[in-house]
């Protein structure tokens, strides 16, 4: 599978270039690659190990670790082929082969002599407990799992992290390792595969740091900060819009009451203080009560203005009720 330039592939590219001086951690990482795309074969009584994948990051990382840990140079190659989807897209299959029996035996023994099925794939227990007993080894193992079969969404769109597995026992192993490292994840079945996923931004951030993707972690956090700022601005804008809408609605209702009083030729019933406020409201029908109160002589507080507006509204309601009664009698 060709790796597109996505946030997920950027993380994998960074992880595939990490350096390590911990042999046990390197072995744990190699064990994960063996689980996903490795095969253990015996030919004429001699063992050989073959890795085959469309994941360029995993293939290159695996070959590099084998060379570093065992001081061997595995045979590498690739083959191009067209997928079944008939899109015309050319895929690349990468191969890493350890042909020398002594070298293959050394790798096999160092990985805990894993059991395999008829096709040469490792079976449960997929990895020797001794290889993943230490926190550093657990992080290395999960790093290889992510490079081989993981995905993290672009934080500009959503927060989602996944590790895929063909076997429920394998996904349970990932969940247990993550829990040991303080990052709980959830497992669900998706058709014939199992997915361990994390949706919390803080935990995804922890996961990136735990795997060693420091550059990607910084990018992730920078995007989170921008999102948080944008979210705060949007919430503030929405709040301000709601307040403006509320103010306009109240102002419109107050102006309607005053006009109704005028239409009934009862404006003279308003005391001078209320009349002054009513005239200002009709002239400035879009400003809040606080500003309206500051325009009075003498100025009045917001609560004082609100009290006077209630008096005006009471008069308008009284006039409406009287007119309604008259209308009902005439009918």
Q: Indicate if the pLDDT at residue 2 is higher than 50.
A: no
pLDDT of residue 86: 59
pLDDT tens string 56-85: 999 999 999 999 999 999 999 888 776 665
Domains and CATH numbers, the chain: 7-212 (3.10.28.10), 227-330 (no CATH)
Read off the pLDDT band of 197 (50, 70, 90).
very high
Read off the pLDDT band of 44 (50, 70, 90).
confident
The chain-wide mean pLDDT, for the chain, equals 88
Residue pointed to by tokens 């082929």:
81
pLDDT of residue 248: 67
Q: Indicate if the pLDDT at residue 31 is higher than 90.
A: yes
DSSP 118-159: TTS-B-SS-S-GGGG-SHHHHHHHHHHHHHHHEEE--TTT--
Q: Indicate if the pLDDT at residue 1 is higher than 50.
A: no
pLDDT of residue 287: 80
CA distance 329 to 327: 5
Q: H-helix or E-strand containing 269? A: none
More confident residue, 282 or 137: 137
Q: Please, which residues have CB within 8 angstroms of residue 50's CB and are 6 or more apart in sequence?
A: 38, 39, 41, 95, 96, 97, 98, 120
Of 82-96, 106-120, 282-296, 298-312, least confident by mean pLDDT is 82-96
Q: How far is the CA of 155 from the CAs of 5, 159, 223, 226, in angstroms?
A: 14, 5, 7, 11
CA distance 140 to 87: 36
Burial 83-117 (b: 16+ CB within 10 A, else e): eeeeeeeeebebbbbbebeebbbbbbebbbebebe
Residue pointed to by tokens 């102006």:
255
Average pLDDT estimate for 110-131: 91
Q: Indicate if the pLDDT at residue 278 is higher than 90.
A: no
On the 0-12 / 13-18 / 19+ scale of CB atoms within 10 A, 78 is exposed
pLDDT tens string 124-154: 889 999 999 999 999 999 999 999 999 999 9
* Phi, psi (deg, nearest 5) at residue 288: -70, 165
Which two three-digit tokens encode residue 189? Answer: 């079945």
Average pLDDT estimate for 159-176: 94
pLDDT tens string 89-104: 778 899 999 999 999 9
Check if the beta carbon of residue 115 is closer than 8 Å to that of residue 4: no
Q: H-helix or E-strand containing 111? A: none
Q: H-helix or E-strand containing 81? A: strand 75-82
On the 0-12 / 13-18 / 19+ scale of CB atoms within 10 A, 76 is middle
Which two three-digit tokens encode residue 119? Answer: 């096709």
Q: Indicate if the pLDDT at residue 221 is higher than 80.
A: yes
pLDDT of residue 85: 58
pLDDT of residue 5: 78
Of 88-97, 207-216, 312-321, least confident by mean pLDDT is 88-97
Q: Please, which residues have CB within 8 angstroms of residue 122's CB and are 6 or more apart in sequence?
A: 34, 35, 38, 40, 114, 115, 116
More confident residue, 318 or 250: 318
More confident residue, 283 or 2: 283
**Torsion (CA) 236, 240, 242, 246 in degrees, nearest 10:** 160
pLDDT of residue 18: 92
**Torsion (CA) 202, 197, 28, 1 in degrees, nearest 10:** -110
């Amino acid at each position: 599978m060709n790796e597109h330039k996505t946030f997920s592939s950027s993380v994998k590219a960074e992880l595939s270039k990490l350096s390590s001086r911990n042999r046990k951690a390197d072995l744990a990482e190699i064990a994960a690659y063996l689980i996903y795309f490795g095969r253990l074969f015996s030919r004429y009584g001699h063992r050989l190990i073959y890795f085959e994948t469309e994941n360029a990051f995993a293939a290159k990382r695996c070959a590099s670790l084998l060379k570093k840990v065992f001081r061997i140079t595995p045979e590498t190659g690739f083959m191009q082929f067209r997928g079944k989807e008939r899109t015309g897209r050319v895929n690349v299959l990468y191969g890493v082969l350890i042909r020398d029996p002594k070298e293959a035996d050394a790798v096999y023994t160092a990985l805990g002599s894993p059991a395999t099925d008829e096709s040469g794939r490792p079976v449960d227990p997929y990895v020797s407990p001794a290889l993943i007993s230490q926190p550093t080894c657990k992080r290395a193992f999960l790093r290889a799992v992510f490079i081989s079969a993981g995905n993290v969404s672009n934080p500009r769109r959503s927060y989602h992290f996944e590790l895929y597995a063909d076997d429920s026992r394998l996904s349970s192993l990932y969940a247990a390792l993550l829990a040991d490292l303080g990052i709980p994840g959830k497992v669900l079945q998706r058709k014939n595969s199992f997915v361990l996923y994390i949706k919390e931004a803080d935990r995804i951030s922890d996961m990136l740091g735990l795997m060693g993707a420091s550059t990607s972690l910084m990018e992730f956090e920078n995007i989170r900060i921008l999102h948080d700022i944008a979210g705060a601005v949007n919430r503030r804008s929405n709040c301000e819009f709601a307040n403006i809408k509320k103010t306009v609605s109240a102002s419109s209702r107050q102006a309607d009451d005053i006009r109704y009083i005028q239409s009934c030729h009862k404006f003279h019933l308003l005391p001078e203080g209320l009349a002054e406020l009513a005239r200002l409201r009709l002239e400035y029908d879009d400003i809040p009560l606080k500003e309206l109160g500051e325009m009075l002589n003498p100025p009045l507080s917001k609560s004082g203005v609100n009290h006077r507006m209630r008096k005006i509204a009471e008069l308008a309601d009284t006039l409406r009720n009287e007119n309604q009664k008259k209308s009902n009698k005439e009918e």
